Chain A
Amino acid sequence: MFACSRRFGSAGLGKTAILIRSAGGIERGFVVQVCRACEDPPCAAVCPTDALKLRSGGGVLLEAARCIGCRLCVDACTVDAVLWDDESDKPMICVHCGLCVQACPYGVLELSKGG
């Protein structure tokens, strides 16, 4: 999460596109919420302004200028992978750069096709 924010030039958690939360209490372990790069992404399908363009290799790219901040994409993503940037009032869209993978000291995350 911090690695992701750093990529966007900031510290803190305001700009993360990946979220780790407990699965209902720390004792139950953790859940990673992150974009799985759909080939047929529902988030793009619901966008009224076509701000989410299909990305080659799966997932979507945000064309910020078109986005009106309606949050439909947030609801559309089945795995809750569209997070929100309060500062710009636009979605945080995962760009699949893999910085989070490099930052994890325990090899929990992996950047791969399929799966």
Chain B
Amino acid sequence: MVCWNSLKVVELVEGDPIKNVLYVDLTRRRYWIEERNDLFQKYIGGSGVAIKLLLEECRRGVDPLSPENPIVFAVGPLNCVFPMASKTVAMFKSPLTGNLGESHAGGRSGIALRSAGLGALVIRGASDTPIYLSIYDGKASFRDARVLWGMRSSYTVGRVIREREPKAGLRTIMRIGRAGERMVRYACVITETYRHFGRLGLGAVFGSKKLKALAIAGTNNIKVKDIKAYKELYQEIFKSEITAPALKKYHDIGTPMNVMPLNKLQALPAYNLKSASLDGAEQISGENLARNYLGRRVACGHCPVSCIHLAALREPYEKEPYFYKTTMISYDYEPIYALGSMLGITSPEGLLKLIDEVEVAGLDAMSCGVALAWATEAVEKSVVSSGPDGTIVNLRWGDYNAYIKAVEYIVEQPNEFYKALAHGVEYAATKYGGLEYALTFGGNEMPGYHTGPAAHIGYLTGARHSHLDSAGYSLDQKILASKGEPTPTSVANTLFEEEAWRQILSSLVVCFFAREIYKPEVVQKALKVVGWDLSLEDMKKIGYEILALKHEFKRREGFKADALRIPKRILETPTPFGRLDEAFIRDAVKEYFARLPRSTNQP
């Protein structure tokens, strides 16, 4: 076991506003700033600082939808300084899993928070009437949001706030849709219309606080240690970003470039993972969408890649000839998987309409798609119609109109069945039956990769139960390419090291798509420019420590590694490695958790 108690304490650059933590108390409508050098000096920023703040702010056992659950946002020293350091980390207690809630988003959020002169933002309490917060240069205002509450579309909410608030071009506007207001456990927070704090239910936590939106901006300067070294390193990083072939692909086709290779590999979950490939997948592939629907590409603030793809969907009005409505709909691999292949939808237009509906409501696309997929199979197997109130739900693979209706029901929760579904798949399947094909890991709905053992071991062990925690899907594909012979130990160790390193990336906070550019040596140089003088060894220790702290929070809130459920379905449908062996997965999970300290050494 690794021992990592003594972390290096760095000296922050004089005048760097990152040490400022803005505390907002929604109950008393007060705010104040505290200088928390102690946190940033040791835990850098982003995930590192956020988990410390969460442990401080969130008492053991609080109801995630009560005023006592805090919301923490944190940025890091590289935001606003180096390109592709565009992200913000959000932490809270998850209303979906009951333990660690963490999600990351870009848009302009990272830039705006750092420019507002903040390193982190802590939101406590709850308002009794709907409000939104605007935060400029560290000053917060509580604004009435009663008129915005209940508005059908999250797009409209964004538009109204855009017109009421100043600082266009410098601000982030985060908001929830009706799903958040109605506390669907996997409601998301939308930022700049097309980016999301998607996973684990931050939108529901906003809703429980009657917090409709946040507008944040500022024009703080950020001082660097050595301007000459800064400019040189900036050019170096920037150049590698605009010349990297992998990033060019993200620009050209975007994340949906994965659809075809995964389908060919038989690793694309379809029909609630009854199959690992989809007939007609090319119709919803990145190539086809780019060719026939791509209307615009956009980027997060301070990113030269612009991987965000917006489809222009042109729909004729039924009654009037030559009259069209054009909607811009953002698509990515994840919604294509969850709302497309998982539901057997191969019509690009049907898929885009469904994605749009999910965006209008403000739901996490992945959890929503997996919930609908589970519900479809439950209907197929007549599990649901035998539910307590005899609910009849007409869901059929590929029928996107029915799914659009169902999204509305998840938000409105008109009956017991949809109330249960709004709690997540684990909850609904526990109530109605059908756990064998309930695709959840630690309570979180499955991401879109059935590539092999590492992907699933990653979902089980990851602190967020996300494919991005330790990228098992990528490890599987590497093993396949090299014809390697994985063992539970080798898989557990590789995933552990990857997840620990990613704690550093998400403390900076850089986009994970830039991970090949922000190698440890580059990160070390970049941190030095902004005053964090850390050795590679120091960084490694901090990464382990952050990961251990996350698990400390999880354990404290009742997470039990040995009680993790492995959905039967993943063992039935062959992966590119063939059928998965349950004992292999269990062993690897055990080995992974053995690497964490029983109780973290608090320094």
Contact = CB atoms under 8 A, between A and B. Distances in A.
Nearest to A87: B221
A29 B304 contact: no
Nearest to B329: A27
Contacts of A6: 230-231, 234
A81 to B, nearest CB: 12
Contact of A26 (B192, B220, B221, B238): B192
Interface stretch (A10-18, A35-43, A45-53): A10-18
Contact of B159 (A20, A25, A84, A87): A25
Given A9-B227, A14-B219, A26 B193 contact: yes
A21 interface: yes
A27 B159 contact: no
A21 B169 contact: yes
Nearest to A13: B115
Given A2-B83, A13-B115, A105 B242 contact: yes
A75 to B, nearest CB: 15
B517 interface: no
A14 B168 contact: no
At the interface, is chain A mostly helix, strand, loop or mixed?
Answer: mixed
Contacts of A12: 80-81, 114-115, 220-222
Contacts, number: 74
A13 B223 CA distance: 11
B336 to A, nearest CB: 19
B242 A86 contact: no
B80 A13 contact: yes
A97 B81 CA distance: 21
Contacts of B155: 25
Contacts of A26: 192-194, 298, 310
A27 B311 CA distance: 10
A84 B219 CA distance: 9
B242 A14 contact: no
Contacts of B194: 26
B170 interface: yes
B115 A14 contact: yes
Name, among B163, B169, B227, B234, the residue most crowded by chain A CB atoms within 10 Å (CB to CB): B169
Contacts of B230: 6, 11
Contacts of B81: 11-12
B5 to A, nearest CB: 33
A2 B169 CA distance: 13
Contacts of A29: 296
A35 B227 CA distance: 26
A21 B17 CA distance: 24
Nearest to B239: A105
A21 B302 CA distance: 13
A29 B306 CA distance: 13
Given A10-B221, A19-B169, A27 B231 contact: no
A19 B111 CA distance: 14
B328 A27 contact: yes
A55 to B, nearest CB: 25
Given A11-B230, A12-B80, A12-B81, A25 B162 contact: yes
Contact of B296 (A14, A27, A84, A105): A27
Nearest to B530: A11
A22 B193 CA distance: 11
Contacts of A15: 221
Contacts of B221: 5, 10-12, 14-15, 87
Nearest to B327: A27
Contacts of B170: 13, 19, 21
With most chain A CB atoms within 10 A of its CB, the pick from B80, B159, B304 is: B80
A24 interface: yes
Interface in B500-533: 530
Interface in A51-80: none
B219 A13 contact: yes
Contacts of A25: 155, 158-159, 162, 193
B55 interface: no
Nearest to A19: B169
B220 A14 contact: yes
Interface string B265-298: 0000000000000000000000000000000101
B257 interface: no
B402 to A, nearest CB: 27
Given A21-B169, A24-B159, A105 B304 contact: yes
A5 B170 CA distance: 14
A6 B219 CA distance: 14
Contacts of A33: 169
A9 B81 CA distance: 12
Contacts of A11: 80-81, 221-224, 230, 530
A2 B192 CA distance: 19
A43 B114 CA distance: 31
A84 B298 CA distance: 26
A11 B158 CA distance: 29
Interface in B213-228: 219-224, 227
Interface string B102-134: 000000000100110000000000000000000
Nearest to A30: B298
A9 B225 CA distance: 11
5 contacts: A10-B223, A25-B159, A25-B193, A26-B298, A27-B328
Q: Ordered nearest first, which 6 A-B pairs have the shortest CB separation? A: A21-B169, A14-B221, A12-B222, A27-B328, A11-B222, A21-B168
Given A13-B170, A86-B137, 11 more contacts: A6-B231, A11-B81, A11-B221, A14-B115, A14-B220, A15-B221, A21-B170, A26-B193, A26-B298, A27-B310, A87-B221
Interface of A: 2, 5-6, 9-15, 19-22, 24-27, 29, 33, 84-87, 103, 105
